[in-house]
Amino acid sequence: NAGVTQTPKFRVLKTGQSMTLLCAQDMNHEYMYWYRQDPGMGLRLIHYSVGEGTTAKGEVPDGYNVSRLKKQNFLLGLESAAPSQTSVYFCASSSRTSGRSVETQYFGPGTRLLVL
């Protein structure tokens, strides 16, 4: 049981290039999330998904797109990278909640992205 995994671990892009970050979870979780973490700041939600085939915007969605074609995978895309997107990106997943119950999010190890 690997939990949440992310690829790649590190990437350098030039301004205007595109790339896709892959997140995979083997816990059969319904919900998946993409966050970015900048120095001295907490995590900010980019996009999230409540199930296969569904995605929704988070707090800072501009410049990113996501897809959830399979339940276990959640992809984050940068169509035209900008230096402001230099950050550490974390994926997380959690179980479906029921009623007013809330389930803990489990995080991957992160992807460090540098945009020059």
Partner 1 sequence: GESVGLHLPTLSVQEGDNSIINCAYSNSASDYFIWYKQESGKGPQFIIDIRSNMDKRQGQRVTVLLNKTVKHLSLQIAATQPGDSAVYFCAENVSFKAAGNKLTFGGGTRVLVKP
Q: Which is nearer to partner 1, 12 or 102 (CB)?
A: 102
Alpha-carbon radius of gyration of the chain:
14
Q: Which is nearer to partner 1, 51 or 83 (CB)?
A: 51
Q: How far is the CB of 26 from partner 1 (least distance, A)?
A: 16
59-104-85 Cα angle (round to 5): 30
Residue 79 three-state SS: coil
- If the CB atoms of residues 3 and 16 are measured against partner 1, the closer one turns out to be 3
Question: Minimum Å distance from CB 27 to partner 1?
Answer: 13
* Residues at the contact surface with partner 1, assessed by CB under 8 A: 4, 31, 33, 40-45, 48, 50, 54, 56, 58, 90, 92, 94, 97, 100-110
For residue 12, how far is the Cα from the chain centroid? 17
Closest CA to 81 of 58, 63, 61: 63
Q: Residue 80 CB, nearest distance to partner 1 (Å)?
A: 27
What does the alpha-carbon distance between residue 57 and residue 66 come to, in Å, rounded to a whole number? 9
When the beta carbons of 4 and 75 are compared against partner 1, the nearer one is 4
